[in-house]
Amino acid sequence: MTRVLIAEDEAGIASFLEKGLVANGFSTWTVADGHAAARLARDEDFDLLILDVGLPGMDGFQVLRQVRTRGEHMPIIVLTARDGVADTVAGLDGGADDYLTKPFSFEELLARIRARTRPERTPEPTVLDGGRMRLDLRTRRAIVGDRTIELSAREFALTETFLRHRGQVLSREQLLSQVWGYSFEVGSNVVEVYVGYLRRKLGEDLISTVRGMGYRYDGGEPSDTT
């Protein structure tokens, strides 16, 4: 089991990360300050570190430098509320393997974690097969028949979530957590709106509504649920 150290001082975000990672088969340990993160981030104990920049006691950049100076090689994904180029460069130059700006979708973070912890012998597919539709993860476009369809970032993330859980019923709450992360408003109808967008772009019969439960990607196959 892949072991992930989470260094995040915002309790809501830390809880969101813990629950999502555990649900996807990871083992997690969470700390809320930089000194604890630097002390615990050792290759023999963890396979990956999710590191918030704005930690108390010792900020994420200082933790990063200390961990790398000590000779630890675990992948490190930096999280920050800052989106300036200088901060991105500082994080990557300091030894980070990846960089995400808050707010972010859990699905995107999960993909980046998988990319950093994946054994070299089992490469991630670059195209997801959804029956009548294929999703190219490199170009971030959908292909339906002979049509290539441009998707917005949220549309792409929602489509990827459906294809990775093909045939499964996904609740509105699951989709909100996976695609919108912690940045959605309670009571928002954003899932319904974006499912409507995808149906218009990709085909009305690709995604079924399962009344009282959520949505299911069927790939255009016959279904008794509408």
DSSP calls for 131-200: TTEEEETTTTEEEETTEEEE--HHHHHHHHHHHHTTT-EE-HHHHIIIIITT-SPTT--HHHHHHHHHHH
Looking at residue 92, its pLDDT comes to 63
**C-alpha span between 149 and 59 (Å, rounded):** 42
22 and 65, same domain (yes or no): yes
Looking at residue 96, its pLDDT comes to 84
Looking at residue 77, its pLDDT comes to 93
12 and 60, same domain (yes or no): yes
9 and 113, same domain (yes or no): yes
Which tokens is 189 given? 């109808």
Which of 97, 117, 137 is where one domain is finished? Answer: 117
Number of domains in the chain: 2
Low-confidence spans in the chain with pLDDT less than 70: 82-94, 119-124, 182-187, 220-226
> Structural domain of residue 65, as residue ranges?
3-117
Using alpha carbons, list the distances in angstroms from residue 188 to 17, 55, 96, 150, 172: 21, 31, 35, 25, 10
Which of 54, 89, 117 is where one domain is finished? Answer: 117
- DSSP lists the bridge partners of residue 147 as 144
61 found inside a domain: yes
224 found inside a domain: no
Looking at residue 137, its pLDDT comes to 83
106 and 149, same domain (yes or no): no
Calculate the dihedral angle through the C-alpha atoms of 97, 100, 101, 105, rounding to the nearest 10 degrees.
Answer: 180
Using alpha carbons, list the distances in angstroms from residue 50 to 3, 54, 200: 11, 12, 37
78 and 46, same domain (yes or no): yes
Asked if residue 86 lies in contact with residue 113, where contact means CB atoms within 8 angstroms, the answer is no
Burial of 63 (0-12, 13-18, 19+ CB in 10 A): buried
Looking at residue 167, its pLDDT comes to 87
Looking at residue 226, its pLDDT comes to 39
Looking at residue 47, its pLDDT comes to 94
